[in-house]
């Protein structure tokens, strides 16, 4: 007796990463999901924007935005002008998803414009079903030192229900921002969405992120004091990242940062944080950590350049040297013009 299972439509299946459902499905748009599913289904085929546009009835801009959405979430990546699964660039390509070059996004994707706050009916229903969430809203009023407006409540519910931040993580976020004088709902929303996008959804991850943010802010305070920079409002993301890198990653002392700043101003005529970073990056690559080391390194470089320059000219003062001559000098000398 033989047996056979009739799989029907299940004969042809393809894999979808779990993270699509676990992390991204609540914020991904219809077009973004359509593009991803189509690319995964046709992973072994050559697919370009025209194919996608015709099959999905989407514009090329919508397709490009959708592809960039999944690149930003580190599900896909560009390798040699093709789309491949993320973290596979150093491995043989398992399958090309799309053979059309896709421009990498120049600016970080912002999900706030796509986020939709729940309506009042949904908020009321959810609060009845989840008393713990209601407790967090009460704590938020205490932390923010004001009654929550319907919009404030909807924002916190959105972080909880749409972006998947647990109540205890939201509580840590509120307290951190309040302690740093930034307890307004706009900051809560932006930081909460960024945490969700970065997968910060446990108390441990939130505490680690708060420690990192605190360290970066302390680093910028030290750098801004060294350089005499007075910020209006909070430091920018770029300022925080550069200061954190210079002090906490590259471990430069105050003197080296000040020296890089002065060289920047002398060369560019103004303060330029990227130029300062380039100077410090070069010193970091050479493991130069003090002004004495820097002076020694530059003196060695000057001596090498001097020797190289002398080597290009004739040290004896003649028009050319034997080594660099394009003809046999000894033969020329042995055959004088005055010989018969």
| Residue 240, domain extent | 223-285
Q: What span, in angstroms and rounded, lies between the C-alpha atoms of 182 and 98?
A: 43
Residue 181 located in a structural domain: yes
Residue 322 located in a structural domain: no
Axis crossing angle, helix 60-72 with helix 49-56, rounded to the nearest 10: 110
Residue 278 located in a structural domain: yes
- The strand pairing partners of 79, in sequence order, are 82
3-state per-residue secondary structure call for the chain: CCCCCCCHHHHCCCCCCHHHHHHHCCCCCHHHHHHHHHHHHCCCCCCCHHHHHHHHCCCHHHHHHHHHHHHHCCCEEEECCEEEECCCCCCCCCCCCECCCCCCCCCCCCCHHHCCCCCHHHHHHHHHHCHHHHHHHHHHHHHHCCCCCHHHHHHHHHHHHCCCCCHHHHHHHHHHHHHCCCCCHHHHHHHHHHHHHCCCCCHHHHHHHHHHHHHHHHHHHHHHHHHCCCCCCCCCHHHHHHHHHHHHHCCCCHHHHHHHHHHHHHHHCCCCHHHHHHHHHHHHHCCCCCHHHHHHHHHHHHHHHHHHHHHHCCCCCCCCCCCCCCCCHHHHHHCCCCCC
Q: What span, in angstroms and rounded, lies between the C-alpha atoms of 36 and 21?
A: 12
Residue 48 located in a structural domain: yes
Q: What span, in angstroms and rounded, lies between the C-alpha atoms of 264 and 242?
A: 15
Structural domain count, the chain: 3
pLDDT value at position 81? Answer: 64
Residue 44 located in a structural domain: yes
Residue 320 located in a structural domain: no
Same domain? 121 vs 175: yes
Q: What is the pLDDT along the chain (340 residues), one digit of tens a residue?
A: 566 666 676 667 878 888 888 877 766 778 888 889 988 888 877 788 888 888 888 887 778 778 877 887 778 877 666 777 776 433 433 444 554 444 444 334 434 434 567 888 888 888 888 888 888 899 899 988 889 999 999 999 999 988 889 999 999 999 999 998 887 888 899 999 999 999 999 999 999 999 999 999 999 999 999 988 876 567 888 899 999 999 999 999 999 999 999 999 999 888 899 999 999 999 999 999 999 999 999 999 889 888 888 777 655 554 444 444 444 434 434 444 334 3
Q: What span, in angstroms and rounded, lies between the C-alpha atoms of 159 and 187?
A: 12
Domain end position, chosen among 94, 109, 124:
109
Same domain? 105 vs 119: no
Domain end position, chosen among 171, 201, 231:
201
Q: What span, in angstroms and rounded, lies between the C-alpha atoms of 6 and 215?
A: 60
Same domain? 38 vs 103: yes
Residue 316 located in a structural domain: no
What burial class does residue 252 get, using C-beta atoms within 10 Å of its C-beta: 0-12 exposed, 13-18 middle, 19+ buried?
buried
Q: Would you state the structure tokens that stand for residue 86, as one six-digit string?
A: 């993320």
Same domain? 90 vs 120: no
**The domain spanning residue 49 has which CATH number?**
1.10.10
Domain end position, chosen among 109, 127, 162:
109
CB of 123 closer than 8 Å to CB of 39: no
Phi first, then psi, for residue 238 (nearest 5°) are -65, -45
Q: Which of 38, 99, 24 is nearest to 69 (CA)?
A: 24
Residue 321 located in a structural domain: no
Scored b (16 or more CB within 10 A) or e, 99-121 reads ebebeeeeeeeebeeebebbeee
Assign residue 330 a region (left: φ > 0; alpha: ψ between -120 and 50; beta: otherwise). alpha
């Amino acid at each position: 007796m033989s047996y056979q299972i009739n799989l029907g439509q299940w004969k042809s299946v393809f894999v979808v990463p779990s993270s699509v459902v676990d992390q991204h499905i609540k914020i991904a748009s219809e077009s973004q999901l359509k593009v991803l599913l189509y690319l995964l289904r046709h992973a072994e085929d050559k697919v370009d924007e025209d194919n996608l546009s015709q099959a999905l009835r989407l514009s090329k801009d919508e397709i490009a935005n959708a592809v960039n959405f999944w690149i930003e979430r580190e599900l896909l990546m560009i390798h040699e002008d093709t789309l491949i699964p993320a973290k596979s660039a150093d491995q043989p390509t398992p399958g090309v998803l799309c053979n059309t070059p896709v421009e990498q996004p120049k600016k970080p994707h912002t999900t706030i414009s796509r986020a939709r706050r729940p309506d009042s009916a949904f908020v009321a229903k959810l609060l009845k079903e989840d008393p713990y969430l209601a407790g967090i809203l009460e704590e938020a009023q205490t932390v923010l030192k004001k009654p929550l407006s319907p919009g404030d409540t909807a924002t916190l519910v959105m972080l909880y229900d749409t972006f998947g931040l647990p109540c205890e993580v939201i509580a840590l976020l509120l307290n951190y921002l309040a302690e740093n004088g930034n307890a307004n709902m706009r900051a809560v929303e932006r930081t909460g969405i960024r945490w969700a996008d970065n997968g910060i959804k446990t108390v441990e991850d939130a505490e680690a992120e708060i420690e990192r943010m605190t360290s970066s802010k302390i680093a910028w305070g030290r750098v801004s004091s060294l350089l005499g920079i007075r910020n209006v409002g909070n430091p920018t993301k770029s300022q925080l990242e550069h200061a954190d890198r210079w002090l906490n990653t590259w471990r430069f002392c105050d003197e080296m940062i000040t020296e890089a700043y002065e060289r920047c101003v002398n060369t560019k005529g103004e303060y330029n944080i990227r130029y300062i970073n380039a100077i410090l990056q070069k010193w970091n690559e050479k493991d130069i950590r003090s002004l004495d080391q820097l002076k020694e390194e530059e003196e060695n470089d000057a001596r090498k350049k001097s020797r190289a320059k002398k080597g290009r000219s004739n040290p004896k003062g003649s028009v050319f040297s034997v080594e660099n001559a394009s003809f046999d000098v000894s033969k020329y000398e042995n055959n004088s013009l005055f010989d018969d």
